[in-house]
């Protein structure tokens, strides 16, 4: 394959995956509203786009009630008045929403969605991704996710509002605190797989015992710390202190309206999907599942299923967990998650060395990576 053909294929695959995730973002908002309503015994969206099925002597059945709610929200945001406050730093104020969306899209480039396969005349090896085989994929993810905080901080600073700047400052302090635990925990699957290539991390979780080889069963503590740190990185409840409406009148985005306001939430939900995919790759076997070796296309279904379950857990936590106070949030990051991640990192390193020296042969093979 020539460089031109490779570039064309990358653009095509990237466009398809990006369009799918953007569409998925819209319906993730519907999933959240429906699931929150179910968990909190409410109705939720049930009018926009429903199909009426009449019943004799009874109320009509509203099939697919609310399915057009994301489209209605998008139309509302596009046509809603979008004023710019008089004293803002205009260039930065307008650039900040894009700085939050772009990293959420870039993360998708290195995620493996399925194993090696052939589609028509194109072979996707070593796995199906926009940019497969990147040996520093984990570093790429950490670098890109660190950029997104700039959009929030700059949005708060450029808005010329005390509430907004307090939300931006909270975001920077929160992300610095939890990125330490997140970075140390990311090293666990890297050490277990002996690679920073996401495809190698998925392959390292494959074995004759099936899901028992997944890192979530070999390192449940690391998986738990990683998921909590991801919630903090996403500023999802109970870590949504940067937009606490009781304290900051909506926080960093208080001066935004219209589609610029919508871009911040677009970035949040797209990052939810992206981080759910990363969680699946690091700890839940990625595209691995029954019969995936025989039918590689099943990898797409397994990834979608694992992403969907992760999204449901995030929504469940939002529905059931109250927001932390700011001192509790910082204490959890520095006094609990960071020491646990350091201890776990050292412990895993010691066990890997002992295993290489043959001193852990009495343990089951899936625990030691055999």
Phi then psi for 123, rounded to 5 degrees? -105, 130
Phi then psi for 88, rounded to 5 degrees? -80, 160
Give, rounded to a whole angstrom, the gap between the first and last alpha carbons of the chain. Answer: 36
Return the domain boundaries, the chain.
3-41+67-358
The span from the CA of 201 to the CA of 18, in Å, is 23
pLDDT higher than threshold 80 for residue 131? yes
DSSP structure string for 215-230? HHHH-HHHHHHHHHHH
Mean per-residue pLDDT over the chain, rounded:
88
Report strand pairing: 58-63 vs 117-119.
Answer: unpaired
3-class secondary-structure state, position 47: coil
Give the confidence band of 367 by pLDDT, cuts at 50, 70, 90.
low
Q: Is the dihedral of CA 47, 49, 53, 54 positive or negative?
A: positive
What is the tens place of the pLDDT at every residue in 176-217? 889 899 999 999 999 999 999 999 999 999 988 888 889 999
What is the tens place of the pLDDT at every residue in 268-284? 899 999 999 999 999 99
Within the chain, what is the greatest distance between any pair of CA atoms? 77
What is the tens place of the pLDDT at every residue in 26-70? 899 999 999 999 999 998 888 888 888 888 878 777 788 888 899
pTM of this prediction exceeds 0.85? yes
Which of 55-64, 257-266, 317-326, 329-338 tops mean pLDDT? 329-338
3-class secondary-structure state, position 339: helix
CA distances from 247 to 166, 234, 240, 241, 268 (A): 10, 19, 12, 9, 21
């Amino acid at each position: 394959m020539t460089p031109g053909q490779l570039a064309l294929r990358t653009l095509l695959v990237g466009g398809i995956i990006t369009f799918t995730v953007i569409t998925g973002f819209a319906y993730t908002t519907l999933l959240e509203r429906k699931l929150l309503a179910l968990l909190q015994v409410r109705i939720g969206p049930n009018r926009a786009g429903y199909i009426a099925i009449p019943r004799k002597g009874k109320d009509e059945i509203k099939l697919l009630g609310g399915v057009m709610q994301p489209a209605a929200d998008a139309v509302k945001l596009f046509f809603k008045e979008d004023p710019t406050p008089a004293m803002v730093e205009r260039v930065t104020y307008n650039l900040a929403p894009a700085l939050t969306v772009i990293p959420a899209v870039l993360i998708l480039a290195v995620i493996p969605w399925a194993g090696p396969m052939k589609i028509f005349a194109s072979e996707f090896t070593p796995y199906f991704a926009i940019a497969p085989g990147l040996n520093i994929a984990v570093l790429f993810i950490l670098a890109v996710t660190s950029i997104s905080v700039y959009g929030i901080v700059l949005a708060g600073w450029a808005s010329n509002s005390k509430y907004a700047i307090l939300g931006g400052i909270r975001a920077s302090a929160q992300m610095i605190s939890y990125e330490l635990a997140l970075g140390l925990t990311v090293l666990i699957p890297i050490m277990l797989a002996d690679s920073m290539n996401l495809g190698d991390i998925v392959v390292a979780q494959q074995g004759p015992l099936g899901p028992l080889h997944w890192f979530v069963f070999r390192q449940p503590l690391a998986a738990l710390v990683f998921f909590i740190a991801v919630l903090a990185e996403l500023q999802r409840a109970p870590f949504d202190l940067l937009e606490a409406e009781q304290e900051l009148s909506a926080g960093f985005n208080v001066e935004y309206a219209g589609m610029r306001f919508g871009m911040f939430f677009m970035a949040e939900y797209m990052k939810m999907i992206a981080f759910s995919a990363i969680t699946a790759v690091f700890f839940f076997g990625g595209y691995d599942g029954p019969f995936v070796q025989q039918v590689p296309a099943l990898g797409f279904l397994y990834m979608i299923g694992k992403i969907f379950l992760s999204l449901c857990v995030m929504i469940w936590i939002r529905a059931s967990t109250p927001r932390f106070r700011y001192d509790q949030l910082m204490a959890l990051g520095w006094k609990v998650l960071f020491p646990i991640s350091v201890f776990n990192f050292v412990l895993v390193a010691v066990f890997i060395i002992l295993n290489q020296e043959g001193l852990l042969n009495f343990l089951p093979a899936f625990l030691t990576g055999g």
